[in-house]
Amino acid sequence: MLTLFTIPKPFRGHIDIIQRNAIQSWTLLQPRPEIILFGDDEKTSVVAKEFGVIHIPSVARNEDGTPLINDIFSMAQREASCDVLCYVNADIILMSDLMFAMEHFIHFRDKFLVVGQRWDVDIKDNLEFGPCWEDRLRTFVAQNGNLHPQTGIDYFIFPRGLWGKIPPFAIGRTAWDNWLIYRARAKGAAVIDATESIMAIHQNHDYSHISGGIEDAWRGEEANRNLLLAGSSKRIFTIGDANWLLTAQRMIPAQGLENCQRLKETWPILHPYLHFFKKQIHRLTRLPHYVVSVFKHLI
């Protein structure tokens, strides 16, 4: 039914704890999804065996040693046994509402992309996945967590082949996740905001795994290269660019005031040829009246 895939950070210290929490939560989903862990960190293979999931060590990297998004997504779609896949960051806990939500969107359109806001919360220790663990965790997050802005995109559910060719973005840097939403919209897919129906829990962490920290992730050389690969800052789409909303009950069009304003802003970006045609018509209407009459006669 679903193939989940990710590329974990090195399993060390606090990162080891939160990634094990996340992966274990995925194994408890029913029906259990196929799970693929990418990366050649020495402990990734150990963790994969521990949880009984697939491990693919070989991943293309850039000159800085950072894994590349296009290779990860290409291999996942090639190796997955399911036609619907979900890339999810390795620190995100998922719960049963994900599988319930799939019943609404899996047959909604041939082309779709499901994204949603995450809940940020501090989790320092290994979770106890006993009876009612989801209820306890939901209560904890409601009391201690915060809903992240629409700029943070931590999971992507999509059918195989949705994007076509993906640029060689560096993972863990800016822009690549925004471009995936832009590209889905540009290809006419239904982009679905599932914030209301899927609680994705992000376990807070530092950025010690990046030499320059969070500043480097957002404004460093690799981040700037990702922005260039995206083609334009106008292609930096967020969850706010979804054109459908998945509530707890049903799918509805995204027709709020902010959605309509954003649609107006992005229309020429998503439909550049139509925008060009509109400009030509506008220029034609500004011609002298007798010239327009000649064009009408010829038509």
pLDDT-derived band at 294, boundaries 50, 70, 90: very low
pLDDT-derived band at 217, boundaries 50, 70, 90: low
**Ramachandran region, residue 28 (left: φ > 0; alpha: ψ -120 to 50; beta: rest):** alpha
Same domain? For 236 and 292 the reply is: no
Domain that holds residue 106: 3-253
Q: Which CATH number do you get for residue 237?
A: 3.90.550.10
pLDDT above 80 for 235? yes
**pLDDT digit string (tens) for 63-97?**
999 999 999 999 999 999 999 999 999 999 999 99
Q: Which of 25-34, 48-57, 139-148, 240-249 has the lowest mean pLDDT?
A: 240-249
Same domain? For 89 and 185 the reply is: yes
Same domain? For 235 and 266 the reply is: no
pLDDT at 107: 85
- Among 245, 169, 276, 154, which Cα is nearest to 204's? 154
Distance CA 157, CA 87 (A): 7
Tally the domains of the chain: 2
- Among 209, 173, 150, which Cα is nearest to 19's? 209
Collapsing DSSP to helix, strand or coil, 111 comes out as coil
**Ramachandran region, residue 239 (left: φ > 0; alpha: ψ -120 to 50; beta: rest):** alpha
Do residues 204 and 154 make contact, with C-beta atoms less than 8 angstroms apart?
A: no
pLDDT above 60 for 282? no
Same domain? For 192 and 240 the reply is: yes
Tokens of 265: 């802003």
* CB-CB neighbours of 250 under 10 Å: 9
Same domain? For 149 and 245 the reply is: yes
pLDDT-derived band at 206, boundaries 50, 70, 90: confident
Same domain? For 46 and 189 the reply is: yes
pLDDT above 90 for 166? yes
Same domain? For 178 and 133 the reply is: yes
The whole-angstrom distance between residue 180's C-alpha and the CA centroid of its chain comes to: 7
CA distances from 52 to 3, 34, 121, 162, 274 (A): 14, 10, 27, 28, 50
Same domain? For 212 and 119 the reply is: yes
Tokens of 199: 């609680």
Same domain? For 95 and 78 the reply is: yes
pLDDT-derived band at 295, boundaries 50, 70, 90: very low
Do residues 136 and 25 make contact, with C-beta atoms less than 8 angstroms apart?
A: no
Same domain? For 205 and 267 the reply is: no
- What share of residues in the chain are helix, strand, coil (percent, to 5)? 45, 15, 40
Same domain? For 199 and 287 the reply is: no
Distance CA 19, CA 25 (A): 10
Tokens of 194: 């599932």
Same domain? For 89 and 200 the reply is: yes
**pLDDT digit string (tens) for 132-145?**
999 999 999 999 99
